[in-house]
Amino acid sequence: MHLHILGICGTFMGSLALLARERGFTVSGSDAGVYPPMSTQLEAAGIALCEGYAAENLSPRPDLVVIGNALSRGNPEVEAVLDQGLAYVSGPQWLAEQVLPGRRVIAVAGTHGKTTTASLIAWLLESAGLSPGFLIGGVPRNFGVSARLGAEGAPFVVEADEYDTAFFDKRSKFVHYRPEIAVLGNLEFDHADIFPDLAAIERQFHHLVRTVPGKGRLLVADGEPALARVLDQGCWTPVVRFGSEPTSPWRFELEREDASRFRVIHQQGQGDERIDEDAVVDWPLTGSYNARNALAALAAADLCGVDLARGCAALARFETPRRRQEVRGEINGIQVIDDFAHHPTAIAAILSGLRAATARGRLLAVIEPRSNTMRLGTLSARLAESVAAADAAFWYQPSELDWSLAQVVEASPVPARLIEDLEALVAALVAEARPGDRIVVMSNGSFGGIHEKLIAALEVAHG
């Protein structure tokens, strides 16, 4: 069977392509932006890629077209699918029908941390010999691929996005997955292009809650008012809290300020029957937000039979997913770090975590605001303060951003520069950098290949 995927280089759709290929489908796809790491993953799997959208990409005629949520009416390939009467489906529906039946589904939802948490759960299950399947919106380096089927009947971990499903299905993606275990890590306003306010997103999260069976579990972060409001709308599944509050049955206590070492306490039972077990995590990640992600993963793995001591030991061997605190290179003591952070909360969290990790050199933040929410300027008032933990900030003004970052630079609590040309940005960073510095590049896109260009320029100037 020939499957053709529109938007194939998106993190979700690319992962879907890998699952389809593993299942034996002939897979091809189209995208307007073909760049690593997804493009190289797909090519290595023998998947044919078409650059750009055109009716000609549908020849030979596919048996089924999977349409990504970035595609809409007016796209020439979408119009050709409709005009030719081709069978089509959304990515989440295809996953729900072709991969998830008969599997114990673990869905990871939240505004931030989904990719890391889903990767952590998959790794904990793998380390316990359970050979899970997974679909993750990034490339977990412990596996080297963003998706796989896993062993027959093994748990399946899916990154559960609240973004809409397709132009013909405006429900959030995660309502298709019907998980037995759902992780709700956090919730705040995002996706301003499709949601008018936070209450609208809370309603979608409640739709997810409605799909979790009574025999399942909701693993819910403590200290999250929006998630509390979601559960107040009705809940039919046992809720297990995790976080740092003393009353949560899963909680952590930092043993190092940067969260590279912390103690996990798991409370089981109540009153005279209460039993507390604890273990220490000593791992390569930093930031209390990552400790919280790990806690959620340990709780999910526990429900699948992975004991706490084994899980904590496995975390020492966890490698961050690609584009999450990923060190892309180091030249003469100058580190270039890549991170996907694209929301003020995420930017602040990654910088604070790196700041606490070491006193080494300066922390230089390089940011491209390019998500749909950023393009609308909805959270622009929070951007300036998000870099407070850095020593300096370099803001890149992408051409598609229809408001000026000058106001962000003017309000910055640290020295900041606004640069509109990529080559000029690389030159400015090379001129500024000195041994011991960490340059943290943050964007949810390819950022014009800045990482490779910056590393090459640093090698010339500082190598």
DSSP H or E stretch at residue 457: helix 450-462
Distance CA 181, CA 205 (A): 14
Nearest to residue 230, comparing CAs of 249, 247, 248, 205?
A: 205
342 is in an annotated binding site: no
112 is in an annotated binding site: yes
191 is in an annotated binding site: no
Which amino acid, residue 126? Answer: E
Exposure of 167 in the CB half-sphere (CA atoms within 13 A): 15
378 is in an annotated binding site: no
**Residue 187 contacts by C-beta under 8 Å, 6 or more apart in sequence?**
110, 111, 198, 201, 202, 205, 224, 226, 227, 230
Distance CA 199, CA 237 (A): 22
**Residue 214 contacts by C-beta under 8 Å, 6 or more apart in sequence?**
236, 237, 238
463 is in an annotated binding site: no
Distance CA 129, CA 316 (A): 17
114 is in an annotated binding site: yes
Asked if 308 contacts 291 with a C-beta cutoff of 8 angstroms, the reply is no
Distance CA 111, CA 88 (A): 29
26 is in an annotated binding site: no
How far are the Cα atoms of 36, 120, 158, 230 from residue 116, in angstroms, in the given order?
Answer: 19, 6, 12, 23
Give the distance from CA 1 to its chain's centroid. Answer: 30
Identify the sign of the CA torsion 171, 173, 179, 182: negative
Distance CA 164, CA 170 (A): 5
Q: Which residues are annotated as a binding site?
A: 110-116
Residue numbering of the annotated binding site for ATP: 110-116
